[in-house]
Structure 1
Amino acid sequence: MFNEIFGVITFLVTFLLLVAMYRLFGKHGLIAWIAIGTIIANIQVIKTIDIFTISATLGNVMFASIYLATDILNDIYGRKIAKRAVWLGFSSTLVMIIVMQFSLHFVPSPVDNTQNALESIFNIVPRIALGSVIAYIIGQHLDVLLFSLIKKVFSSDKTFIIRAYGSTILSNIVDTALFVIIAFFGAMPNEAVFEIFITTYLLKIISTVFNVPFGYWAKSMYRKGKIQKLDEGY
């Protein structure tokens, strides 16, 4: 039961921090969140936990927050800004992987006690790293496209929930399927690969269902004029 309670707390803290970044730094805070969050999520995904009677990797809540940040940017500032943020998130992950690989190849001092821990975290299996970056860039760009298409039909402020749910739920199918297939297909029994896909997608959707109110909160701050000066100040 501890993981379930702690999971709810982690969810609330994550999305409160996202809104705080927007309130303090405007659109640049959301763009920074996407860059930072992509790195964090790719580190979190290494850890496996049991929650609600299923085994799952961490990172699903952070990935859901990245999709919400992208949707807010798309809704308020337009598709161009959202796509730029997606590429920044991708570039941040790529830079982390490259730089940390160089770091791991330094010969550690005899008194060093961190090399093994760093290798466990950053010496990423090539297939998992490849699956992560490909799934991210395709899934996020698909989310931006779908959000823009849905917005043409449901464009009012009240229908943000339709745009956010529709784009994220559909793009996450592609995102999750790509990652699982590239990272695990052929290395595990097909049944296990399918189970990982279902549990990962399910947790992402649960996070998405409950995160949209934070999106409305962020949009409300923009409508009330609390963000414009921050955007203009950079």
Structure 2
Amino acid sequence: MYNEIFGVLTFLVTFILLVAMYRFFGKHGLITWVAIGTIIANIQVIKTVDLFTISATLGNVMFASIYLATDILNDIYGRKIAKRAVWLGFSSTLVMIIVMQMSLHFIPSSVDSSQDALVTIFNVVPRIALGSIIAYIIGQHLDVMIFNLIKKVFSSDKTFIVRAYGSTIISNIIDTALFVSIAFLGTMPNSAVFEIFITTYLLKLISTIFNVPFGYWAKSMYRKGKIKNLDEGY
């Protein structure tokens, strides 16, 4: 049960940190969270762990926090700001891949002890890197679009949960399906690919279900004026 308990702790810490970034840096904190979150999530996804007797990759909680960050930006500051954050997250991931691939091609010193570790972490299989980038950009833009469509029907502050759940649950299906298909289809049995899709989506779904209260917490701070004044200082 260690991984399961530590997983809950990681979930709470991740979303508390997200809200803290918003509290102290306003919308700029959320935009930054999307940028650094995509980099962290794409590194975490390399590690596989056992949760509730099934194998799963890390990164699902961080990806869920990115979706919540864009939902908060979309709800409070509008679609344009949310899309800017999405593109910043995409660009950050692309920059990381390019720069780290170039770094790996330096011939290490005879006293270097990190090259093998860096290769293991950052020498990302091209299909996985491509799948991650394509899934991210399509999934996030779909999330922003669906969020706005739902907002036209359920626009009150109390129905933020409907907008957040509806947009993220639907967009995560596309996001996960694209990533798993591009990264793994043809390299392993279809049944194994389907199992990866199901477990990955379920973990994202669970994270989504329990993260919306943190969205309400962030929105509550905005309504009380704890965020607006900070934003005006930029």
Instruction: Indicate the TM-score class for this superposition, using the shorter chain for normalisation.
Output: over 0.9
1:233 to partner: Cα distance: 1.0
1:229 to partner: Cα distance: 1.1
Give distance in 2, aligned partners of 1:122 and 1:198: 26
Residue of structure 2 in register with 1:63 after alignment: 63
Give distance in 2, aligned partners of 1:53 and 1:82: 37
Residue of structure 1 in register with 2:114 after alignment: 114
SS at match of 1:187: coil
1:159 to partner: Cα distance: 0.2
Superposed CA deviations along residues 105-150 of structure 1, whole A, max 9, x for unmatched, are 0000000000000000000000000000000000000000000000
Give distance in 1, aligned partners of 2:218 and 2:206: 20
Residue of structure 2 in register with 1:228 after alignment: 228
Amino acid in the other structure paired with 2:53: T
SS at match of 2:229: helix
Amino acid in the other structure paired with 1:32: T
The answer as to 2:29 corresponding to 1:51 is no
Gaps of 5+ in 2: none
Give distance in 1, aligned partners of 2:72 and 2:54: 31
What count of residue pairs does the alignment treat as equivalent? 234
Percent identity over paired residues: 86
SS at match of 1:107: coil
Residue of structure 2 in register with 1:157 after alignment: 157
Superposed CA deviations along residues 45-68 of structure 1, whole A, max 9, x for unmatched, are 000000011110000000000000
Amino acid in the other structure paired with 2:65: S
Give distance in 2, aligned partners of 1:58 and 1:162: 27
1:232 to partner: Cα distance: 1.2
Give distance in 2, aligned partners of 1:130 and 1:95: 13
Amino acid in the other structure paired with 2:216: Y
Amino acid in the other structure paired with 1:67: Y
Residue of structure 1 in register with 2:182 after alignment: 182
Superposed CA deviations along residues 128-187 of structure 1, whole A, max 9, x for unmatched, are 000000000000000000000000000000000000000000000000000000000000
Residue of structure 2 in register with 1:41 after alignment: 41
Residue of structure 2 in register with 1:192 after alignment: 192
Give distance in 2, aligned partners of 1:10 and 1:181: 28
Give distance in 1, aligned partners of 2:86 and 2:233: 23
Gaps of 5+ in 1: none
TM-score of the superposed pair, with normalisation by structure 2:
1.00
Amino acid in the other structure paired with 2:155: S
Residue of structure 1 in register with 2:125 after alignment: 125
Where in structure 2 are the equivalents of 1:9-48 lying within 5 Å?
9-48=9-48
Question: Which portions of structure 1, spanning 4 or more consecutive aligned residues, are displaced by more than 2 angstroms?
Answer: none
Give distance in 1, aligned partners of 2:52 and 2:62: 18
